[in-house]
Amino acid sequence: MTNNRLIMTPDDPGFYEILSNPGVDFLQGMHRQYNGECCFVLRHDEGEMLTPIPWKDLDDYLYGGEYEAVDQDFTPI
């Protein structure tokens, strides 16, 4: 923010980037919820938000087709 306002609007530079970042507190809380046994992945149906999943579900994410769908959506052509 360049004008010392407390509220950002969609016209402000970086508005959408800030909204898409869940913040450190959220990520640490999710890590604690899974007792440190999680990784963060990009879900195909949840936009650009990182989602915690247990390590045991990672193989299904990687080899079950969801990773490929996300990769196709976010890889430049």
The residue range of the domain holding 24 is 20-74
- The answer to the question of residue 6 being in a domain is no
Q: Domain count of the chain?
A: 1
- The answer to the question of residue 2 being in a domain is no
- The answer to the question of residue 9 being in a domain is no
Q: Is the pTM of this model over 0.75?
A: no
Q: What is the mean pLDDT of residues 27-37?
A: 74
Output the CA–CA distances (angstroms, integers) from residue 72 to 6, 47, 50, in the order listed: 38, 13, 17
Q: Are 31 and 51 in contact (CB under 8 A)?
A: no
- The answer to the question of residue 3 being in a domain is no
Other CB atoms within 10 Å distance of the CB of residue 70: 18
Counts of helices then strands in the chain (DSSP H, E): 4, 2
- The answer to the question of residue 63 being in a domain is yes
Question: Over the stretch 37-76, which tens digit does the pLDDT of each residue have?
Answer: 888 888 877 766 778 888 889 999 999 988 888 888 765 5
